[in-house]
Chain A
Amino acid sequence: MLLAVIAIGVVIVALLWDLVLPSLKEKVERYRARRAIIPGTSYDPGRERRAEQRARQLLKSCVNDEEWAMYRDLGFIRVWGAMARAPRRGRIGDDPRAGAPYAYLVYPHKPIVAYLPQTRELLNEYCVEFPDETRPYGSARLPDSDDVLAKWMALTGDERRLIATANMHLPGRQVDPKQVRRDLWRLGQWESERMRRTPRSPGEVTAP
């Protein structure tokens, strides 16, 4: 009799064990996962702010005074195009605008916008990135001012190569044309105000 009771007990325990074990294991794993120390690749606003401050200083030390003031006040930089001919717009062949002075608006982490300053006509968007695949903090994205500086260096140093690398699109694909036109208007106002206030200095960049 006793033997039978013990046998039944063992069977019950074995059956219960099969039922309870998986959920017990899951609970233990969840507990461990909650307590686990994850390497610090999370977003740290303080670190990003410090990085951006350093990037701003570097940008300031590289670009012209006017360009720095433009970036500080307006949030973008205008870079004059140096190629002999203005970039072609889409597939248009005989473009009367070819050869006209052109410029780029360089925004942080947005496509570069090419336009004709005389008419404020938008020509193209050049989508280009500078991803750091080592991802030191889990992100390949440079600080905003570093992204602007990278574009500025690539445009002033080797415009042709940068434009060849970028993906070209018609205006309006990523950057709202209304926003760009507003920015061009703001730039015009800003320049007028600046010319009124300060005499021309050697650091200013004029149209070619």
Chain B
Amino acid sequence: MKPGHGEVLIAEGDVEVAEEEELLVEEFRRQLDQGMWAAVPERTTAGRREARMVKAFDEIPRDADRVIFFPRAAGGS
């Protein structure tokens, strides 16, 4: 998510392909280093949609189809 852009594709790849997974890990780290939060939208067994906040690449479910990065929260006035 970016001001003036909305959704921006940062990287894509298949985690089953080693090179692509490496690229995804690198990009994931870069985003977190920039201070972004990462979330994986998912559906619970009850059919309810919610997000899973992830802090490490290992925490992303292998079958996740996307990770959304957004600026970290800050207390507003």
Contacts and interface: CB of A to CB of B under 8 A. Distances in A.
A151 B49 CA distance: 14
Nearest to A54: B6
Nearest to B47: A202
A139 B3 contact: yes
B56 to A, nearest CB: 14
Contact of A52 (B6, B35, B51, B73): B6
Considering residues A134, A145, A157, which has the most beta carbons from chain B within 10 angstroms of its beta carbon?
A157
Contact of A167 (B5, B41, B77): B77
Contact of B71 (A51, A52, A132, A166): A132
Contact of A129 (B34, B46, B47, B74): B74
Interface of A: 44, 47-48, 50-55, 57-58, 61-64, 67, 111, 127-137, 139-143, 145-146, 149-150, 152-154, 156-158, 161-162, 165-167, 202-203, 205
Interface of B: 1-7, 34-35, 37, 39, 41, 46-53, 68, 70-77
11 contacts: A58-B1, A132-B2, A134-B2, A136-B5, A143-B3, A149-B68, A154-B39, A154-B51, A162-B73, A202-B46, A203-B49
